[in-house]
Amino acid sequence: MTGLSQVQQAEKAISTVLRRTTEVPALGYHIGHFTQTRDLLVEALATIRGEPIKEISQRFFPAQHPIHLGAARCPFCGSPSLEIDADLDKHVFVFVHCVVCNAAGPTGENKEEAIAKFLARSYC
């Protein structure tokens, strides 16, 4: 990044990491919505560019990545194909979604809470 100012270097590095979260599901999962790392990167890029945080957040929407919970399965259909989804409008709710039967929720404030609540559900 020779010839770039420190601010330009920071902008390039941050935008590259955020862009990669949209392309690489595993990275999108680990630095996805509701992680402190992503929030800090989005806020820093918004500050550098002078753009609203929400616009930057939506522009760099992380790739979905199936959750690997070992032997855990969807409590409704038994599928291991689960994804983390988020309510972007409110930016406070996370929920698990089954790719096979479309079961979703309930919501949690973070990934761990959403996973625990989803797996505790049953047909009853």
Peptide bond into 66 cis (omega under 30): no
In terms of domains, do 59 and 72 share one?
A: no
What is the SS3 assignment for 53-99? HHHHHHHCCCCCCEECCCCCCCCCCCCCCEEEEEECCCCCEEEEEEC
**Strands 66-67 and 93-98, how do they pair?**
unpaired
Integer Cα distance of 87 and 107 in angstroms: 9
Tell which of 46, 63, 80 closes a domain: 63
In terms of domains, do 80 and 106 share one?
A: yes
Q: Which domain holds residue 98?
A: 64-124
Return mean pLDDT, the chain.
79
**What is the per-residue pLDDT for 26?**
64
If one counts the domains in the chain, the total is 2
In terms of domains, do 97 and 120 share one?
A: yes
In terms of domains, do 59 and 69 share one?
A: no
Tell which of 15, 32, 63 closes a domain: 63
Kindly report, residue by residue over 25-77, the tens digit of the pLDDT: 667 667 776 678 888 999 999 999 999 998 888 888 766 555 556 667 888 88
**What is the per-residue pLDDT for 90?**
54
In terms of domains, do 5 and 55 share one?
A: yes
Contact 53, 18 (CB under 8 A): no
